[in-house]
Amino acid sequence: MTSTHARSFGRFVTAECFAARSARRRWRSCTHARSPNRRSTVGPSAARSERNSRTASARARASRSSTSARSARIPARLAACGIEVLVVPGDWDAGAILETGPRAVLVSNGPGDPAVLAAPIETVRDLLGQVPVFGICLGHQILGLALGLETFKLPFGHRGANHPVRDLRSGRVLVTVQNHGFAVAESGDVEVTHVSLNDGTVEGFAGDGFATVQFHPEAAPGPLDALPFFDLIAGTCRSAPTFALS
């Protein structure tokens, strides 16, 4: 995944349980693809070895843009939960993504107006119902548009590391990191799971085979209240039929 792709759209992250692969395989540390036809892999070694030289090199490349740097933390968070991560370009279609055999797909963050991203929206629409789909920030908005929801520009964007968000399922208030200027309009077609306590906007929704959050659970440094979102993705991978039969 190149920084150009990260700026125009986030990334698709396909997640698969480590336990489904050979225990003798040597896991590669976090790297970023150098061309749109290559994909990146993250394994447990990357999560455990912060000082590994290849990981440091990947982080240096990711720091070319703030969006890319934030996205680089997502694979590391998923790897820490014990799942393998493949990072593929944002311009891959559903067929190419499904060929990787994912247990789940996460649409990552990125900048700009989500409504203009017609191709990624169509890709996510094609993925829904075939594989569990998750979204973070821009990915949350794209998934909403794929479901037929609307997005709108906020009068004042959400920026900062101390935005209170209520988890409507648990009643818990999360302190979250946010950096977005658009939001998904509330609709009765999906279950809203999280709302902003500052302005009441939708901060997450869920349904059969999908779940999203508008904020950044991968934030580092930042509050860790939202890390359970990655546990949700890992649990989905482990409960996949292909994992249960392996």
Active site residues: 137, 216, 218
Measured CA distances, 235 to 203, 228, 238, 240 (Å): 21, 10, 5, 9
CA 75 to chain centroid: 9
- Whole-number Å distance between alpha carbons of 148 and 166: 24
Which tokens hold the place of 71?
């996205």
Helices (H), the chain: 3-8, 44-48, 53-62, 66-80, 94-98, 118-127, 138-146, 228-238, 241-244
Neighbours of 20 (CB within 10 A): 18
